[in-house]
Chains A and B, each alone.
Chain A
């Protein structure tokens, strides 16, 4: 029955809607293959988001697993009418908030942006030359350190906008804040980040 509905919806929707509907159908069926494909596809983005938000690799790893289990358990709540990414990030964010509540006061100001959390060591991908590696590492360390000094709410907004390429409305849905707040965080975060990076390694 649900397969028939999925087929009908897919036959009349645009490619992006079809994809979202296919994911929604797969999640409703709790199809392991769909979940495998989703984990494969979103592993880097989800982990990066969690690492950025929590500032800890270990915590990000725990939450990474919990997020996918939550996706499995709450998959029926995803209706496929919007993109999957904001829904996924929203689940991850709620888990971070739950953790924040359990671990007070370490993450006490995650949402209001007072925290100056330590950013995880972010690594470069690929196999560059030794010189490039040193330069890139130096630059990455500098950018990571600067990002880590931003309030978490600004950091999160910057990550979602410029790394995950989410639309402003999608970011507002993920962080559960008005559009104006999201814009304000982005402008302030961007300017703060720019000022922090001024005078960084060439």
Chain B
């Protein structure tokens, strides 16, 4: 048998395990394997290799799994609380906007009345009205931006590797995992 034939057989043997081969190729392979000892040995060697890779095991420490669960629960609670706060913030913003929109005509008249009463130029009381309108929105916007900045810093390294873990490592404890007192 030619070396080319053996090479083709080996390619098919590997392909059968990596990506699969057609029925015709499988049939050809079986026929060839019945009469070629050299390729048969190669097939066994390949099989042993794959079995070896499959047999490797690295079980995690049960304490690691338990600690991971606790951290995930703790973080899930934090995230739920954060979401609730964000929802409340959005709701109050929406309510504030609706109230502002409905009260705008009344407020305009109020500013106009005061402006005329104390003989202010129109531009002054109109500016006052605009400020009255925009200051709360600006404050809410500032709070929101500050809140976002705080949240994004929390979601960074500190979120996945919190304070107690760093402290535990720094203090040379056996584990960097949290204890019940940390949580």
A61 to B169, CA, bound (A): 14
Contact of B79 among A30, A60, A61 (CB under 8 A): A30
With a 10 A CB-CB cut-off, give which of A65, A124, A143, A193 has the most chain B CB atoms: A65
Residues 67-79 of chain B, each 1 if its beta carbon lies under 8 Å from chain A, else 0:
1110111011001
Question: How big is chain B's contact interface, by range?
Answer: 35 or more
Contact yes or no, A190 B67, CB < 8 A: no
- Tell yes or no: A120 within 8 A of B by CB: yes
Contact yes or no, B18 A72, CB < 8 A: no
Contact yes or no, A125 B57, CB < 8 A: yes
Contact yes or no, B68 A51, CB < 8 A: no
A73 to B160, CA, bound (A): 10
Contact yes or no, A122 B58, CB < 8 A: yes
CB neighbours of A198 from chain B (8 A): 45
- Tell yes or no: B150 within 8 A of A by CB: no
Contact yes or no, A124 B57, CB < 8 A: yes
CB neighbours of B159 from chain A (8 A): 69, 73
Contact yes or no, B71 A69, CB < 8 A: yes
B74 to chain A, nearest CB (A): 10
With a 10 A CB-CB cut-off, give which of B45, B68, B79 has the most chain A CB atoms: B68
A72 to B54, CA, bound (A): 29
Contact yes or no, A65 B56, CB < 8 A: no
Contact yes or no, A125 B59, CB < 8 A: yes
B105 to chain A, nearest CB (A): 36
- Tell yes or no: A83 within 8 A of B by CB: no
B30 to chain A, nearest CB (A): 21
Contact of B76 among A62, A72, A187 (CB under 8 A): A72
Q: A61-B64, A197-B48 are contacts. A44–B54 as well, Cβ < 8 Å?
A: no
A120 to B53, CA, bound (A): 14
CB neighbours of B75 from chain A (8 A): 69, 72-73
CB neighbours of A48 from chain B (8 A): 56-58
Residue of B nearest to A65 (CB): B68
Residues 24-64 of chain B, each 1 if its beta carbon lies under 8 Å from chain A, else 0:
00000000000000000000011011101111111111001
Binding site for B on A (CB under 8 A): 30, 32, 35-36, 39-40, 43-44, 47-48, 51-52, 57, 60-62, 64-66, 68-70, 72-73, 120, 122-125, 139-140, 142-144, 146-147, 158-159, 161-163, 168, 183, 186-187, 190-191, 193-194, 197-198
Contact yes or no, B45 A194, CB < 8 A: yes
A2 to chain B, nearest CB (A): 13
A191 to B75, CA, bound (A): 44
A99 to B89, CA, bound (A): 36
A118 to chain B, nearest CB (A): 14
Contact yes or no, A191 B14, CB < 8 A: yes
CB neighbours of A147 from chain B (8 A): 53, 56
B153 to chain A, nearest CB (A): 14
A66 to B64, CA, bound (A): 12
Q: A35-B72, A158-B53 are contacts. A183–B160 as well, Cβ < 8 Å?
A: no
30 pairs of residues in contact across A and B, judged by CB atoms under 8 Å? A36-B69, A39-B68, A40-B65, A44-B59, A47-B60, A52-B58, A64-B64, A65-B67, A65-B177, A68-B72, A69-B75, A122-B56, A123-B57, A123-B58, A140-B55, A140-B56, A142-B52, A143-B53, A147-B56, A161-B18, A163-B53, A186-B18, A187-B14, A190-B18, A190-B49, A193-B49, A193-B53, A194-B45, A197-B48, A197-B52
